[in-house]
Structure 1
Amino acid sequence: MTRIALGVQYIGTAWNGYQKQPSRDTVQDKLEIALEKFACTPLHTTCAGRTDAGVHAIEQVVHFDTELQRPAQSWVRGTNAFLPESIVVRWAHALAPAPEMQEFHARFSARSRTYHYVLYNHPNPSALLAGRAGWVFRPLDVERMREAAAHLIGTHDFTSFRASGCQANSPVKDMQEIRIERHGDVIVFTVRASAFLHHMVRNIMGSLIYVGTGRNRPEWMAEVLDARSRDAAAPTFMPDGLYLAKIDYDPKWGLPQEPAHPLPWL
């Protein structure tokens, strides 16, 4: 039995999130259908992190176990032949069959996750960025948002940014980085943490926008965090500009991962 890891990229606009649903209109459904058509046998995938409806992935990592022996590029090209154009396998990597290598797990072996949120800040929406970026028509103050984001760095209880239906065992996460960069009318938010709660990034985005528009002080972010109540934070922001960008693993696994460019469609 060999464990195969895949790097999967997708535009989530047309899909009902990553995780399989009875409707069979999710990324996992389409990926497993394609794998079965190529391999001529059912293959179950495990992902590094589930994404919601409308959320994209620059590089999602999944794994599956199989007795088939095929070159890595065959897994890539063969699977892609049966996928819709909005879902693409970018790379495949066979982990050595030694027992210690079988310990690799797309989710549990991950050291951290990185998300980008791409935001279009302009009085009018952009047809070219529809579904690919969030939109705020009021001017945003990047420096105020950076000051607010600094309060979230470190290990904290992120209950205030947790969806009511979140199934995580603990709301305590290690926020390692929040970077905010403006490129003309586009603002890119890069968020890296040990793991994320359900809707955590989108809930943080909503609160940062409250600060960026001047509705609340940057210090308000610390008050929201300390409240440990979802009612203390801003509403959940739209999924359109959210990208699962990078999953960090120990180099010993030898995964051929790619740079997580925040604007893959430009």
Structure 2
Amino acid sequence: MPRSSGAAVPQPSQEKTEDPVTVLVTGFGPFLEKYPTNSSWSIASTLPAILPATPLHPTPIRIIVHHEPIRVAYHAVTDTIPAIIDSCAPKPDIVFHIGLAAGRTFYTLERGAHRTGYNSIPDVDGRLFSEAEVAARWPHLPPILKTAFKTDDVWRRWRAQLPDSNIDIRPSEDAGNFMCGFIYYNTLAHFYEQKDEERPVTFLHVPNLPTKKDVDQGREVACALIRAMVDSRREHGVTDGIAEKLVNRAAEIVANKDEGPKTDVNFVA
């Protein structure tokens, strides 16, 4: 038998890695003639499947992009979004919607959405979502639902992770009263009805991105936001605190007098 050289044999690391976090992502299809390609889908459809763990971001991230853009139609959203979430395997820890804000030149992290106000701008089928339909679908839900992410914390992390400090990103309180606000409220409501204090949902508004360079930047922005959400979730969770919930409920009571915004600043016909 050959003698041992005495050299140490490398052993695999015994350090346990964190379980991956699964993020379900959607983007929209076209809805305006002058924007035949929706920038939200240009970003979503090119996201990487994995964001690996790093020393600064110890949680690996699995990104699942819904296989086709969401049709810009109210009833398509109500018919498909709950099924997309519930059929996703593995079950998503975070749902991340991306939408086009044609009237903006910057990126916005939206905090919440209104229940009503979707009866003024027709969708691609020429249809609206009436107040009667709202009452039938969400008879007891608050007029405003907000993400349970700590958005101030997410925004700070997002800002810090962007490779270019000149990229214009902003927080926003209201996703508007067209399809972006509608899909956001639908998803927030889906989680609220299961366990009201846990709503691991976010929405990113993106500007029109006409070139490949623009889309590449948009993808970097989206990946940085996904990292920021996962890092914030790791530290703070995605459950409303009691104090925050009371403040939100008080705001909802006031908002109930006028539930929806009069115009959608994200929409340009």
Q: Give the TM-score normalised by the residue count of structure 1.
A: 0.24
Rg comparison, structure with higher value: 2
Q: Give the TM-score normalised by the residue count of structure 2.
A: 0.24
- Give the structure with the larger helix fraction: 2
- Give the structure with the larger strand fraction: 1
